[in-house]
């Protein structure tokens, strides 16, 4: 009876070690970086940012999930993320639909040079839903001369656009009048309230006109 028991204990230890290895693999990758530094003054004031989540898939490849998020003072209509750069020697294994990946090194408007550059001209992804890049194997990310690991370019309405990163733009941010004048589509509830107010003013005007005629 002792031999089967020893075999069961050995199998249990191997299973625990395997599960621990899987947990370590995923936990070591799971973290996020917020891109909050814009090269446009108005976008810095908006508080808008991009969240980059670093994880791993079942095959041990690195995943980068990119998502734009509005700030507390947001008054702009974001259209899409059309450029993304990161500092890693690891290339993109799976490229999102519409994107052109592994374009080589690229300087991204004051945020320094990035080892990997991906683009989607005229893209509309990354706003209502996230963009996912899969990198080959376990990727390590380093900071460039501007202290940046990641950078992205976001298009807004009214011809407004800007680069955002976790680093610091050389020369700081500059003002862009197009970004100050970008407008946001009113919510349906706001339009309903406005319509109700105008209708009420019309009724009051008719009531006062009727009283004047009667007098």
pLDDT tens for the chain, 215 residues long, are 555 555 555 565 555 444 444 444 444 468 999 999 999 999 999 999 999 999 999 999 999 999 999 999 988 899 999 999 999 999 999 999 999 999 999 999 999 999 999 999 999 999 999 999 999 999 999 999 999 999 999 999 999 999 999 999 988 899 999 998 543 444 454 445 555 555 555 555 565 555 555 55
The label of the residue with tokens 């230890």 reads 13
The label of the residue with tokens 């500059």 reads 174
What pTM did the predictor assign? 0.73
Q: How many CB atoms lie within 10 A of CB 162?
A: 25
Strands 161-165 vs 37-38: parallel, antiparallel or unpaired: antiparallel
What are phi and psi for residue 2, nearest 5 degrees?
Answer: -70, -40
């Amino acid at each position: 009876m002792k031999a089967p028991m020893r075999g069961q204990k050995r199998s249990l230890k191997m299973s625990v070690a395997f599960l621990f290895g899987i947990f370590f693999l995923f936990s070591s990758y799971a973290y996020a970086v917020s891109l909050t530094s814009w090269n446009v003054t108005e976008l810095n004031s908006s508080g808008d940012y991009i969240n980059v989540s670093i994880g791993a898939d079942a095959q041990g490849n690195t995943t980068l999930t990119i998502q734009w998020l509005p700030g507390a003072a947001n008054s702009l209509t974001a259209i899409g993320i059309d450029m993304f750069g990161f500092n890693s020697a690891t290339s993109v294994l799976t490229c999102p639909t519409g994107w052109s990946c592994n374009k080589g090194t690229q300087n991204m408007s004051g945020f320094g040079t990035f080892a990997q550059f991906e683009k989607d001209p005229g893209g509309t992804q990354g706003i209502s839903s996230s963009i996912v890049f899969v990198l080959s194997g376990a990727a390590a990310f380093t900071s460039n001369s501007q202290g940046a690991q990641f950078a992205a370019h976001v298009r807004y309405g009214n011809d407004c656009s800007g680069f955002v990163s976790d680093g610091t733009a050389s020369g700081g941010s500059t003002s862009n009048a197009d970004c100050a004048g970008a407008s946001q589509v009113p919510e349906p509830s706001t339009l309903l309230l406005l319509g109700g107010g105008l209708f009420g003013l019309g009724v009051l005007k008719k009531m006062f006109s009727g009283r004047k005629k009667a007098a």
